[in-house]
Structure 1
Amino acid sequence: MEKTLIIDGKQVRFKATAALPLRYKAQFGRDFFSELLKMGAIEKLGNMDTTNVTRADLDGLDFEVFYNVAWCMAKTADPSIPDPITWLDQFDEFPMIEIIPELQDMLLATIQGKKK
């Protein structure tokens, strides 16, 4: 699954494949699923109203994980992008609260099967 988002006036491609968890672990040395699940991130993000986000909504979320996931998805779509910090440095703004919901469906599709 692939999606293009406009971030800070730039078109950024994101792609989720079955290799996403392996790419995450190879780059960051941590298990992709454990990182998401221990935070309850998938459930929290699915229920979050991004128009009225409160501090309580963000408690327990480690945004580093989301930046890392976003980088992995961008790297999957475009293998030429640089390391995560260099890549993020090219953006003056990276509105994660708006980006996460856009990537959520792609993440869920990667870890869920299709019903027959």
Structure 2
Amino acid sequence: MRESITIAGTTYELATNAYTPIAYKEQFGKDYFQDLFSMVNSQAILAKLDQLEDGEELQAHHIDVSILSDFDMTFFHRIFWVFAKSANPRVKPFVDFYLEMEEFPVQDIAPVLMNMLNQGMSTRKKQMKQKQRVRKSSQ
């Protein structure tokens, strides 16, 4: 899956593909799916982001501190960079990539990333033809 997002006048191409978990492990030394499932457990912060009006920013008083106990804010940075790397293997190294960014508006970026994560995690089971089922059961 491919998406584009513009941040502060710069358009970033993002992709999720078979290389994504490999790039994540190579760069961060962590398992992509373990981090992803840990993030899913922090859905409360994402719900708060969804409740914001256009132009409204997430403020500290909007968040119950207990929500943040398991939330890793750099997760969005890691995922964003690895999706950029999956779209373009020649993307700048992680630190250089972010040193050039003026801002990183999580409230705008998180929905795009979550949509890509959801699409990447969904699978479709191909229907077997009747002939294949019969052949398989007779073996």
**TM bucket, shorter chain:** 0.7 to 0.9
Normalising by structure 1, report the TM-score.
0.85
What is residue 96 of structure 2 aligned with on the other side? 86
Separation in 2, partners of 1:44, 1:3:
25
- The CA deviation at 1:96 is 1.6
Post-superposition, which runs of at least 4 consecutive aligned residues in structure 1 deviate over 6 A? none
What pairs with 1:1-116 in structure 2 (closer than 5 Å)? 1-40=1-40, 43-44=43-44, 47-48=47-48, 49-51=50-52, 53=58, 54-56=62-64, 59=68, 60-114=70-124
Q: Is the 8 A contact 1:15 1:77 kept in 2?
A: yes
Separation in 2, partners of 1:63, 1:13:
21
What is residue 135 of structure 2 aligned with on the other side? none
Q: Is the 8 A contact 2:21 2:31 kept in 1?
A: yes
Normalising by structure 2, report the TM-score.
0.72
Query: Which of 1 and 2 has greater Rg?
Result: 2
What root-mean-square deviation, in Å, do the aligned CA atoms of Structure 1 and Structure 2 show? 2.3
State, as a whole percentage, how many aligned pairs show the same letter. Answer: 28
- The CA deviation at 1:45 is 6.2
